């Protein structure tokens, strides 16, 4: 349904080519663009529940994505959202704190 992420930059869904620049080869499409140091991307796997006989109706059309924002480096990548709460009780506690 979705890709596993997107470019991140001046705009939340920053524009940019996912495929290498230049003319397409004679057969097929251009290869995907390799990641380079300094690029920032999201990694957001998702689960989406479609209607099906073996799925309770209360879960139909529910989806969830968990996003990490990542800076590509020359070595290991840097996950810049590592400290963001992801567990429900942590998020609820944060929301209670900010509502005060």
Residues paired with residue 32 on neighbouring β-strands, in sequence order: 19
Mean of pLDDT values over 28-47: 87
CATH number at residue 76: 3.90.230.10
Place of tokens 């944060």: 94
**Between 55 and 33, whose confidence is greater?**
55
- Six-digit token pair at 50? 């479609």
User: Do 77 and 71 contact (CB within 8 A), yes or no?
Assistant: yes
The total of structural domains in the chain comes to 1
Place of tokens 């099906």: 52
Helices then strands, each counted (H, E), the chain: 1, 5
Q: What is the pLDDT of residue 2?
A: 66
Q: Domain residues for 66?
A: 1-100
**Between 61 and 10, whose confidence is greater?**
61
Q: Per-residue confidence at 51, pLDDT binned at 50, 70, 90?
A: very high
Is 0.85 topped by the overall pTM?
A: no
């Amino acid at each position: 349904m979705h890709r596993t992420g997107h470019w991140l930059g001046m705009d939340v869904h920053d524009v940019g080519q996912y495929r290498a620049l230049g003319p397409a080869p004679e057969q097929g499409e251009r290869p995907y663009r390799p990641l380079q140091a300094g690029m920032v991307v999201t990694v957001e796997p998702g689960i989406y529940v479609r209607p099906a006989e073996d799925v309770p109706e209360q879960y139909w059309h529910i989806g969830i994505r968990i996003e990490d924002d990542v800076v590509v480096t020359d070595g290991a990548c840097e996950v810049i959202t590592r400290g963001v709460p992801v567990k429900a009780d942590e998020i609820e506690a944060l929301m209670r704190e900010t509502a005060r």
